[in-house]
Amino acid sequence: MTPLPRFHRLPADRREAFLAAARAEFAAQGPDTASYNRIIESTGVSKTAAYQYFDGREDLLGAVLADVLDRLLGVLGPWRPAGGPEEFWARLAAGAEALAAHLAATPEDLALAEAAVARVGGGAWLGWFGELVDDGRRLGVIRTGVDRDLLVAATAAVLKAADGWALAALAAGAEPPRHQVWELLAALWSSPSAPGREI
């Protein structure tokens, strides 16, 4: 499910404005319940024009979720092999901090992140965590006796839960003890104790 060719011929600012309006509606109403007619109305284009850009609601939702996933992966950037365990943990902490800051600053991405990973980006999202796990195994930070794909999925799940936990604490006015996330990952990975620093 992708936009029709005519959508790609729009100027970049018009494409982004269209997707931003649709993203706001999907985030506010939920990806499974948002009304296509209301979304079209919010974009400021006619229904006829909208159908020249997308075959329907599911195509538009797919484009919005793909855009959200692209932004999340852009915030993380590609995982690059670390020079040693200390650098590995520092890069992981920096990526987690950047992603948490992005989600806190963009509530629409936060509302749609789970759907984006589940519907359009499981492979791309898990690919990033696969590179992380492979690098951690190379460095001896992550155990090798457990199936790689299981460790990738578990690592992604732990960090997703940690992001939600940290954002909920921040929204309540508390500073989450983020070192607990690294301790949890260290236990999952059977690595030496995680660095005891906050991120």
- Whole-prediction pTM: 0.81
199 neighbors 177 (Cβ within 8 angstroms): no
131 neighbors 76 (Cβ within 8 angstroms): no
Residues shown for the chain? 199
The upper half-sphere exposure of residue 185, i.e. CA atoms within 13 Å in the direction of its Cβ, equals: 29
d(CA 195, CA 197): 6
Per-residue pLDDT of the chain (199 residues; tens, 9 = 90+): 577 788 888 888 888 888 999 999 999 999 999 999 998 888 888 888 888 888 888 989 999 999 999 999 999 999 999 999 999 999 998 998 898 889 889 999 988 988 888 876 568 888 999 999 999 999 999 999 899 999 999 998 888 888 778 777 777 788 778 788 888 998 999 865 556 544 3
Residue 177 corresponds to which tokens in the numbers above? 């003890």
* Dihedral sign (CA 14, 19, 25, 28): negative
How confident is the model at residue 121, as a pLDDT? 59
Q: Where are the CATH 1.10.10.60 domain residues in the chain?
A: 5-66
How confident is the model at residue 199, as a pLDDT? 38
Residue 22 corresponds to which tokens in the numbers above? 């649709």
**What is the gyration radius of the CA atoms in the chain, in angstroms?**
19
191 neighbors 143 (Cβ within 8 angstroms): yes
Nearest one of 84, 144, 78, 70 to 113, comparing CA atoms: 70
3 neighbors 63 (Cβ within 8 angstroms): yes
User: Coil, helix or strand for 194?
Assistant: coil
Report DSSP letters for 93-106, one per residue: HHHHHHHHHHHHH-
Helices (H), 30-121: 36-43, 47-53, 57-76, 85-105, 107-119
Task: Choose which CATH entry (1.10.10.60, 3.30.70.260, 2.70.98.60, 3.40.30.10) describes domain 5-66.
Answer: 1.10.10.60
How confident is the model at residue 174, as a pLDDT? 82
How confident is the model at residue 103, as a pLDDT? 86
How confident is the model at residue 100, as a pLDDT? 82
How confident is the model at residue 1, as a pLDDT? 58
